[in-house]
């Protein structure tokens, strides 16, 4: 029987695999750059294009709904096409969708868009025909965000698949952590520099410039990427190191139908936690700059700077949350205790976020919300681990995909409702009040459904 050797010495001066990791880092970086730009430009776009709070809520909801489906099917698309062609295809498509936001400048601001759709009415005790009315520019942005969400959803499963091909098992966690750092760094860079681009170029060209970074990435990928066995730049010593540090190729396990997963209690715990707490991160992405700008009457550049600090603080959480659980396990705690205590610490760290609308010091507000955002990242890291702890190996990817789909779908509704709340009240108090309690409620659901985590 062949076993994986985890103690293999690293090949000296042969590190081409880290060039591949760098490509993945910039793919995630660009992903978040294109995703975050709308949040920082919300105020000037709303003023220029005549959007209401409700209109903006629908635009952000459209992205979340589309991303949910992109996340759900992205992994299976990468498995079918392969990352050599799958990754550049989705980057080209989402970069085109990002540029399409700028094309909305050619739409008539004075024209409206009307859409009839079925809606269940409790008052009528049945389905009725509801009508969505938006400015034509808002409808154009909705379509662009839908295209962006559908295509961006595949980048994370594609990156994970690439790491699995290029790295031995003992280096995969490090490689994943490094490329995933592109998400928060992309958000920070966007918030720091997009206001300057907007001031110098206007909003249309700002979207064009950020979209162009994706096409630059395509050139680098096309010239640098090939599978390890066919990569001419890869030294035989490094190829041997990669291959000997990977598990033997086995017959692929049968694909698990999503519907069959619903018989597992941990799946329901994961889904409920995703519905309740998952949408919070989407609120931060779409509304945090607007909240700070309005609360403290900031300029666009000031809004970007303070929002960037929020995302910088949030970087800490994913690492700290995983570190805490690992430290507790090292000290002899059971998996059940280590995971749930870590989740509890994260949940309690979010609670003070309800104070954010009442605090008059902007630094203190950013710290409070930043800690909540950081705790969300730590919560997510431990929640993913609960899936790995409790589910059979052949179901883990499907469970994560299903949970992500449900969480982003719920996030679409939460973003839409947030827009309605702001339209009617102009207050973020209900929004932060909702976020503050959802993690503890999620942990209660986890405890009821999975009273004891038993590793598979």
Same domain, 110 and 27: yes
Same domain, 149 and 129: yes
Which residue has better confidence, 113 or 142? 142
Q: Work out the percent of the chain whose per-residue pLDDT is above 90.
A: 44
Which has the closest alpha carbon to 50: 160, 141, 115?
141
Which has the closest alpha carbon to 34: 118, 116, 90?
90
Range of the domain at 70: 15-248
Same domain, 222 and 308: no
Whether 220 is in a domain gets the answer yes
Same domain, 239 and 294: no
CA atoms of 253 and 242, how far apart (whole Å): 23
Whether 2 is in a domain gets the answer no
Size of the chain in residues: 456
The structural domain count of the chain equals: 2
The tens digit of pLDDT for each residue in 274-322 reads: 999 999 988 998 899 999 999 999 999 999 999 999 988 887 876 777 6
Same domain, 34 and 130: yes
Same domain, 322 and 410: yes
Burial of 123 (0-12, 13-18, 19+ CB in 10 A): exposed
pLDDT of residue 6 exceeding 70: no
pLDDT of residue 43 exceeding 50: yes
The predicted pLDDT at position 247 comes to 59
pLDDT of residue 121 exceeding 80: no
pLDDT of residue 456 exceeding 50: yes
The tens digit of pLDDT for each residue in 171-218 reads: 765 677 678 778 888 888 998 999 999 999 999 999 999 999 999 999
The predicted pLDDT at position 253 comes to 54
The predicted pLDDT at position 356 comes to 95
CA atoms of 386 and 303, how far apart (whole Å): 36
pLDDT of residue 52 exceeding 80: yes
Same domain, 119 and 243: yes
pTM (predicted TM-score) = 0.81
The predicted pLDDT at position 364 comes to 96
pLDDT band at 439 (very low <50, low <70, confident <90, very high): very high
The predicted pLDDT at position 358 comes to 96
Which residue has better confidence, 260 or 38? 38
CA atoms of 315 and 371, how far apart (whole Å): 10
pLDDT band at 1 (very low <50, low <70, confident <90, very high): very low
The tens digit of pLDDT for each residue in 209-242 reads: 999 999 999 999 998 988 888 888 878 887 887 7
CA atoms of 74 and 68, how far apart (whole Å): 10
Mean pLDDT, residues 44-70:
91
Alpha carbon distance, N-terminus to C-terminus of the chain: 22
Same domain, 266 and 356: yes
CATH number at residue 139: 1.20.1250.20
Same domain, 161 and 293: no
The predicted pLDDT at position 5 comes to 47
Mean pLDDT, residues 423-428:
92
pLDDT of residue 415 exceeding 80: yes
Question: Looking at 224, 248, 272, which one is the last position of a domain?
Answer: 248
Pick the range with the lowest mean pLDDT from 90-104, 249-263, 377-391.
249-263
Which residues are bridge partners to 405 per DSSP? none
The predicted pLDDT at position 318 comes to 66
The predicted pLDDT at position 455 comes to 66
Mean pLDDT, residues 406-418:
90
Same domain, 299 and 200: no
Mean pLDDT, residues 4-15:
57
Mean pLDDT, residues 92-99:
96
């Amino acid at each position: 029987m062949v076993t994986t050797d985890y103690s293999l010495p690293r090949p000296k001066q042969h590190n081409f695999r880290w060039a591949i990791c760098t490509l993945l880092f910039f793919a995630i970086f660009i992903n978040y750059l294109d995703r975050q730009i709308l949040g920082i430009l919300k105020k000037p776009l709303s003023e220029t294009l005549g959007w209401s709070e409700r209109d903006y809520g629908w635009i952000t909801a459209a992205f979340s709904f589309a991303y949910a489906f992109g996340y759900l099917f992205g992994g299976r698309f990468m498995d079918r096409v392969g990352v050599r062609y799958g990754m550049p295809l989705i980057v080209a498509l989402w970069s085109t969708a990002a540029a399409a936001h700028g094309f909305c400048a050619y739409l008539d601001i004075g024209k409206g868009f009307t859409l009839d759709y079925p809606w269940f009415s409790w008052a009528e005790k049945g389905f009725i025909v509801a009508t969505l009315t938006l400015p034509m520019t808002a409808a154009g942005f909705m379509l662009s965000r839908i295209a962006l969400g559908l295509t961006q959803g595949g980048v994370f499963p594609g990156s994970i698949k690439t790491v699995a091909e290029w790295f031995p098992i003992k280096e995969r966690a490090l490689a994943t952590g490094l490329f995933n750092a592109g998400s928060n760094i992309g958000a920070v860079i966007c918030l720091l520099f997009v206001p300057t681009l907007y001031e110098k170029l206007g909003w249309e060209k700002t979207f064009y410039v950020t979209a162009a970074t994706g096409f630059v990435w395509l050139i680098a990928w096309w010239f640098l990427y090939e599978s390890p066995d066919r990569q001419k730049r890869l030294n035989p010593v490094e190829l041997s190191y990669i291959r000997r540090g990977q598990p033997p190729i086995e017959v692929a396990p049968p694909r698990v139908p999503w519907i069959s997963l619903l018989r597992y209690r941990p799946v329901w715990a994961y889904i409920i936690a995703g519905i309740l707490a998952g949408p919070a991160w989407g609120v931060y992405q779409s509304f945090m700059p607007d909240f700070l700008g309005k609360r403290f009457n900031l300029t666009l550049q000031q809004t970007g700077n303070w929002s960037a600090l929020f995302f910088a603080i949030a970087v800490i959480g994913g690492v700290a949350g995983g570190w805490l659980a690992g430290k507790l396990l090292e000290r002899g705690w059971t998996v059940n205790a280590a995971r749930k205590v870590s989740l509890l610490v994260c949940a309690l760290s979010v609670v003070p976020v309800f104070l954010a609308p009442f605090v008059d010091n902007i630094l203190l507000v950013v710290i409070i919300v930043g800690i909540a955002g950081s705790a969300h990242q730590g919560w997510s890291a431990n929640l993913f681990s609960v899936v790995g702890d409790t589910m059979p190996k052949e179901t883990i990817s499907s469970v994560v995909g299903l949970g992500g789909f449900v969480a982003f779908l719920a996030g679409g509704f939460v973003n839409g409702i947030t827009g309605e709340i702001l339209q009617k009240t102009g207050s973020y108090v209900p929004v932060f009040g909702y976020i503050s309690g959802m993690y503890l409620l999620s942990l209660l659901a986890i405890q009821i459904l999975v009273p004891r985590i038993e590793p598979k």
